[in-house]
Structure 1
Amino acid sequence: MGSWLMVSTALQPVTLTEFMQLHNIEESPAWELLHGQVLQKPMPTFYHSLLQKHLVRAIDNTNSIYEAFPELRCILSKNSVVPDITIVHQRRIPVANQPIQGAPDWIIEILSVDQSVTKLIAKIQDCLAEGTQLGWLIDSQEEVIMVFVPDQPLLLARGDMALTVLDEMALQLTPNQIFGWLKR
């Protein structure tokens, strides 16, 4: 599958319909469709998985109307994305084994060493354009969290700065707390 995908995307863009018919797009790590390009996510590192685990737990422990899921596919109008963490309102959780239809309410991406910052920002911006209310891009190397909110300038959160979360969520986190999870 991998070599066919590489050859296919090099020749011509793939449509969402074509992509969704491909076999094994859910293999680990998952495949995504971004602007006609089929891309496989990198294999997560230990620190990546540790941040994912702690963030999902912290978000779900708020007992809000939102739930967090690691690596859950979201189907946008032309793209198929698998955010590191997808946060959606409870009413949007599929009843069957299906992806989320539409952009997540909140998207969290954790930058891996071999990932393109530009592609992750583009993914977050695509989600914001389709209804996402909040995006975080976590860079553990620089210990900064880029906070994306529609129609607002990019915020670079560091140190003990309170991070923006969804309005209906009682969650207080700072970059220092999040990066502290990596310092065991």
Structure 2
Amino acid sequence: KSPEKLTLEEFLLSPETKPAKEYFENKVYQKPMPQLHHSAIQACLSLDINQVGRPRQLAFAFTELRCTFEGRSLVPDLTVFEWQRIPREPNGRIQNKFEIVPDWVIEIVATDEFSSISIRKILFCLNNGTQLGWLVDPQDESVITFQPDRQPEVRYNSDPLPVLNVLTDWQFSAKDVFSCLY
């Protein structure tokens, strides 16, 4: 389906949809409906990251969180924020809307057509302050990692994956990402 053309302001006034729509490159894109592999990886990664990051108030992973910044409104499969960067209300409660760039963006490939858009979104985030991006491909069980000022790297099996600096003592491999599928 070809993308709709709206302004960001018009897009933000439109009702939310499932699956989510995103505003990127001055167009509206509907995310594909997730299949079981996608959902399992998303749930497990969120749990794994939060088991390490939340108890020590280092980082917090969110699934399908709308992030609006630099004229775009994206809904990555997972976003991770360093704890001290999470927007909060005066009483300390997490804000309901995030208008900042995530520290780590994870996209899970749903279709070949969508992987190109996912890569462009990850690169956009990196160019605006994101520290780390992963593109997870359940088909060939690879993770392409994106970091500022580095070439993307494809990781398989026991290849270690980069994580946020605040999670330095956490070791995670490409095999760990896909373990929930077995």
TM-score range, shorter chain: 0.7 to 0.9
Tell me how large the CA RMSD over aligned residues is. 1.9
* 1:21 corresponding residue in structure 2: 13
* 1:85 corresponding residue in structure 2: 78
TM, length-normalised to structure 1: 0.87
- Contact 2:82 / 2:103 at 8 angstroms: preserved in 1? yes
The answer to whether residue 157 in structure 2 is matched with residue 159 in structure 1 is yes
* 1:73 corresponding residue in structure 2: 66
- Contact 2:82 / 2:166 at 8 angstroms: preserved in 1? no
* 1:98 corresponding residue in structure 2: 96
Q: What CA deviation, in whole Å up to 9, does each residue of 1:82-137 have, x standing for no partner? A: 00001012233344653211211000000013642111100001111111000000
Counterparts of 1:150 and 1:58 in 2: how far apart (Å)?
24
Q: What CA deviation, in whole Å up to 9, does each residue of 1:135-175 have, x standing for no partner? A: 00000111110000011011101111110000110321111
Counterparts of 2:108 and 2:75 in 1: how far apart (Å)?
12
Counterparts of 1:148 and 1:76 in 2: how far apart (Å)?
19
* 1:31 corresponding residue in structure 2: 21
Q: What CA deviation, in whole Å up to 9, does each residue of 1:43-101 have, x standing for no partner? A: 11111111011101110111351100000000121110000001012233344653211
- SS of match in other structure, 2:139: coil
TM, length-normalised to structure 2: 0.88
- Contact 1:42 / 1:115 at 8 angstroms: preserved in 2? no
Consecutive unaligned residues in structure 2, runs of 5 or more: none
Aligned length: 173
Q: What CA deviation, in whole Å up to 9, does each residue of 1:13-34 have, x standing for no partner? A: 4222221122x1x221111001
* 1:179 corresponding residue in structure 2: 178
List, as ranges, runs of 4+ consecutive aligned residues in structure 1 with deviation greater than 6 Å.
none
111-120 or 58-67, which deviates more: 111-120
* 1:128 corresponding residue in structure 2: 126
AA of the residue aligned to 1:52:
Q
